[in-house]
Structure 1
Amino acid sequence: MKKGKNEEGSWTICQECQGRGKKSRGLSDKARRHYQMALDQFEKTKGEGIAPVRPKGHLHSCLNCSGSGLLHSASHPVVDKENYPHIAIIGGGIGGVALAVACLHRGIPFTLYERDNNFDARSQGYGLTLQQASKAIEGLGVFSLDERVISTRHVVHTTDGKVIGEWGIRKWMQSDVKTSSKRTNMHISRQSLRSALLEQLGGHDAVQWGHQLIDFAACEGEGVDLNFLVDGKIQPFKADLVVGADGIRSSVRRLLIGEDITPLRYLGCIVILGICPLSALKGLDSSLLDSATVFQTANGNERIYIMPYTSDSVMWQLSFPMPENEAKALSAQGPQALKEEACRRTQWHDPIPQILSTTLEAQISGYPVYDRELLKLELLEKGGQVTLIGDAAHPMSPFKGQGANQALLDALTLARGISRGCRAASQWRKAGVRESVLTEFESEMLERSASKVKDSAEAAQFLHSEIVLHEGDEPRGRCLKKKNV
């Protein structure tokens, strides 16, 4: 991602790659010959056995748009209400706003609904680490994030400060380079990323704030009827496609699938989070506070993870096992109780006690950690013109940093699927948006995110066990995968 301000103006999709960012090289002569031989053999056996599947050509980055799928434009594409479905996006968090942006770039009509009354109505979480989604951000027209922080070093300690693992570009290259794009992670606050995406939409007015979804139902003709509670009154709306991007406690998911089939699944631990400005730690000399280092410390039960939040602050995440009823009770007691519990459990090496004791209670929150059983395609298939993305579809623990990454990928993939599957000649109104777009999208989304959900749930266990104390210059838990190979 280029450093500097985003170019002013608008974006439209690259026609050479149709907004995908990649183009097919086509099949090689060898691959084509092998497929033809297999097909000939299948036909000789009069269809016995399994028919060969035609291989797909290798994809390469589109040179015309540098792989983003977008080109600079004097204005946004004209909204194509005639050919594209009108999408009701439920939820104005990262995933919902990203989907709206991707639709804007493709001329797909949408309305973005959020139950909060404004952008700052409640905390939208803390810091994010962008991994696979770094390229997706460019696919959303965000080519720079001014408030991002790049980390180039990751250190793991025991509670007395002994280093038991270290990796990152500064480990491998033994240099003080802080901004290389290789072997680095990009960190940004959730609200900063959300704000950058809203800028693509033209600002906060692009969101229908204060709209709480009450119910929805398929129309007798076509489309979906929705009812929202707005200023104490029920207001009806209509859409061709409804996308639930409303988080782990998704109303769309509850109305679509029900809460009993895939209930929240407690992962056995609580997380306490805080943000501490570096200015509050004056006089504390620590190489861990250089705004380019991520570090964690653990004892086999408690584990704290501290990362750059902005250029002048850090975010910490303390987690430990606790029975669900106790975790709920501690969370309900509020910031003071959470801070006291965190400080009591982390009288460890510097600068951990100083960071936690200095963090203001207003910057502390905590919650029990949940996910849900993986969705099966058949549960979504009954939804007709309704689907889910992000945490509404595949909630996961925060321990692999994948929630926002997957939501961004979901959003961009769905918008690209609508653009491709609902073209003028597609006759999607006759075939239905599910057959034209949703079945393929949901299959890809669930397959891609399944390993992330599984790995995140496993991390909730091994990060609070003796495994985390394994000595090695690699991410915690990798030794487990090596044993299973």
Structure 2
Amino acid sequence: MFSNGVAVLNDLGVSLDGAGGRIDRIDALTSDGRLRTTMDLVHTAAHFGFENKSVSRNVLLDRLAEGLPEGLVHYRTGFRSVTQDDDRVTVTFDDGSTATGDLLIGADGHHSEVRRQLWGEDVVRTATFGTWQALSPIDIDLTHTHLHLMITGKEGACGLIPGGDGLLQWWFDVRWSPSDPRPTAPLAELRRRFGHWASPVPEVLAAAREEDLGFFGHHWNRVRPVWGQGRVTLIGDAAHTMPPTLGQGANQTLEDVWVLGRELAKGGDLPVRLRAYEKDRYPKVSLVSRLARRSPANWRIPPAIGRLFPETSQTTMLSRFSNRLTAVTG
């Protein structure tokens, strides 16, 4: 959760106090341990007014759900179709039941059925990397810091972020396509592939547990200037699936929430407000999506070039770049 996402949560009254781990700095390293670049996130937190944090998705969902009325959220009910007229929108579910309201927000993610009905056959494409990841109790020095490491080499990329409470968020990016066979012993494969990298990668792999490990392939779709139709719109991955290389998927979804809420609060013609929301979000989120697709986390800036830019300069560039991308600046 970077400052832009935390800012939206704060505006919604959702606190992350005591959750996860604070991120104060990002160091980009070579696989043999040399420093490429470094960025001071204490500076960006002061600039935007909100900390950067590594937070478990489950913890975030629990915080979002606090105080919701009993029975408000219904699970295991698949979307089948939507119809609308000038005043209302009606959704039909897989079990034949229906729900009617003023608008429909398709927040159904990467495999969005609402998007499929609006845009036609699935437009999501496969990117070139996939991620093996976990959140594990790994007791190494890094786990008890506020330092985020991004490590890259010819074998792929590794990310390590302290997650608070003795947990470490760790992942490995490897080239991938859906036709690739899934390894029967993925942790052994990761150890073979990355185990010779500089510390602390071998220590993480030695302490890792197979049962914590999960995989997801990277996907993307070209962001459209208009996402919805009439009283229907999209939000988050349903509108802009992107690889996780910028760490902006959840943060951009929260920015969607903030802008949509602002537009709806203006009142008036609801379809007009939904198109205004989409128009506002399009230039920012399409830029983020394009950059994420190009996998900047896997760019291998030579250490000699990184040293040409002092940490303060790199941090200033990050702040200006983040300000360009975000609709919420504190």
Report the TM range for the smaller structure's normalisation: 0.7 to 0.9
The answer for the alignment partner of 2:79 in structure 1 is 213
1 or 2 for the larger relative contact order (CA 8 Å, sep ≥6)? 2
5+ residue gaps in structure 2? 322-330
Per-residue deviation, residues 305-324 of structure 1 (Å, max 9, x unmatched): 10012231111121122344
Q: CA offset at residue 163 of structure 1?
A: 2.5
Write the distance in 2 (CA, Å) between the matches of 1:217 and 1:353.
Answer: 55
Q: CA offset at residue 471 of structure 1?
A: 2.7
Q: Is the 8 A contact 2:219 2:242 kept in 1?
A: yes
The answer for the alignment partner of 1:449 in structure 2 is 285
User: Are the structure 2 counterparts of residues 183 and 234 from structure 1 closer, same or farther at C-alpha, using a change threshold of 3 Å?
Assistant: closer
Q: CA offset at residue 130 of structure 1?
A: 2.6
Per-residue deviation, residues 131-159 of structure 1 (Å, max 9, x unmatched): 21221111111244321321222222222
Secondary structure in 2 matching 1:298: strand
User: Are the structure 2 counterparts of residues 415 and 463 from structure 1 closer, same or farther at C-alpha, using a change threshold of 3 Å?
Assistant: closer
Q: CA offset at residue 296 of structure 1?
A: 1.9
User: Are the structure 2 counterparts of residues 276 and 157 from structure 1 closer, same or farther at C-alpha, using a change threshold of 3 Å?
Assistant: same
Indicate whether 1:241 and 2:103 are aligned: yes
Indicate whether 1:405 and 2:251 are aligned: yes
The answer for the alignment partner of 1:225 in structure 2 is 90
Q: CA offset at residue 354 of structure 1?
A: 2.1
> Normalized against structure 1, the TM-score is what?
0.59
Q: Is the 8 A contact 2:225 2:279 kept in 1?
A: no
Q: Is the 8 A contact 1:169 1:182 kept in 2?
A: no
Indicate whether 1:355 and 2:204 are aligned: yes
User: Are the structure 2 counterparts of residues 457 and 294 from structure 1 closer, same or farther at C-alpha, using a change threshold of 3 Å?
Assistant: same
Q: Is the 8 A contact 1:321 1:464 kept in 2?
A: no
The answer for the alignment partner of 1:150 in structure 2 is 22
Q: CA offset at residue 256 of structure 1?
A: 1.3
Q: 405-414 vs 462-471, which deviates more? A: 462-471
Q: Is the 8 A contact 1:291 1:312 kept in 2?
A: no
5+ residue gaps in structure 1? 1-128, 173-177
Write the distance in 1 (CA, Å) between the matches of 2:162 and 2:54.
Answer: 7
Write the distance in 2 (CA, Å) between the matches of 1:352 and 1:208.
Answer: 42
User: Are the structure 2 counterparts of residues 190 and 134 from structure 1 closer, same or farther at C-alpha, using a change threshold of 3 Å?
Assistant: same
Write the distance in 2 (CA, Å) between the matches of 1:468 and 1:227.
Answer: 54
Amino acid at match of 2:105: V
Selected match of 2:230 from 384, 389, 394: 384
Q: CA offset at residue 202 of structure 1?
A: 4.2
The answer for the alignment partner of 2:326 in structure 1 is none
Per-residue deviation, residues 89-115 of structure 1 (Å, max 9, x unmatched): xxxxxxxxxxxxxxxxxxxxxxxxxxx
Write the distance in 2 (CA, Å) between the matches of 1:313 and 1:180.
Answer: 28
Q: CA offset at residue 325 of structure 1?
A: 1.6
> Normalized against structure 2, the TM-score is what?
0.84
Amino acid at match of 1:312: G
| Structure 1 residues 125-274: aligned runs within 5 Å | 129-168=1-40, 185-202=52-69, 205-219=71-85, 222-229=87-94, 233-260=95-122, 263-274=123-134
Write the distance in 2 (CA, Å) between the matches of 1:169 and 1:451.
Answer: 22
Q: Is the 8 A contact 1:159 1:298 kept in 2?
A: yes
Amino acid at match of 2:130: I
Q: Is the 8 A contact 1:253 1:392 kept in 2?
A: yes
Write the distance in 2 (CA, Å) between the matches of 1:290 and 1:384.
Answer: 50
Per-residue deviation, residues 417-462 of structure 1 (Å, max 9, x unmatched): 11212xxxx4x3xxxx212x1111110121221111111112x2x4
- Identity of matched residues, %: 23
Per-residue deviation, residues 62-119 of structure 1 (Å, max 9, x unmatched): xxxxxxxxxxxxxxxxxxxxxxxxxxxxxxxxxxxxxxxxxxxxxxxxxxxxxxxxxx
| Structure 1 residues 99-118: aligned runs within 5 Å | none
Write the distance in 2 (CA, Å) between the matches of 1:420 and 1:183.
Answer: 27
Write the distance in 2 (CA, Å) between the matches of 1:169 and 1:391.
Answer: 26
What RMSD in Å do the two structures reach over aligned CA positions?
2.8
User: Are the structure 2 counterparts of residues 342 and 369 from structure 1 closer, same or farther at C-alpha, using a change threshold of 3 Å?
Assistant: same
Secondary structure in 2 matching 1:157: strand
User: Are the structure 2 counterparts of residues 225 and 338 from structure 1 closer, same or farther at C-alpha, using a change threshold of 3 Å?
Assistant: same
The answer for the alignment partner of 1:18 in structure 2 is none
Q: CA offset at residue 376 of structure 1?
A: 2.9
Write the distance in 1 (CA, Å) between the matches of 2:46 and 2:12.
Answer: 22
Q: CA offset at residue 372 of structure 1?
A: 0.3
Write the distance in 1 (CA, Å) between the matches of 2:38 and 2:55.
Answer: 22
The answer for the alignment partner of 2:149 in structure 1 is 295
Q: CA offset at residue 264 of structure 1?
A: 1.5
Aligned residues: 310
User: Are the structure 2 counterparts of residues 313 and 144 from structure 1 closer, same or farther at C-alpha, using a change threshold of 3 Å?
Assistant: closer
Amino acid at match of 1:471: G
Q: CA offset at residue 182 of structure 1?
A: 7.0
The answer for the alignment partner of 1:370 in structure 2 is 219
Q: Is the 8 A contact 2:89 2:104 kept in 1?
A: yes
Secondary structure in 2 matching 1:295: strand
Larger Rg: 1
Q: CA offset at residue 164 of structure 1?
A: 2.8
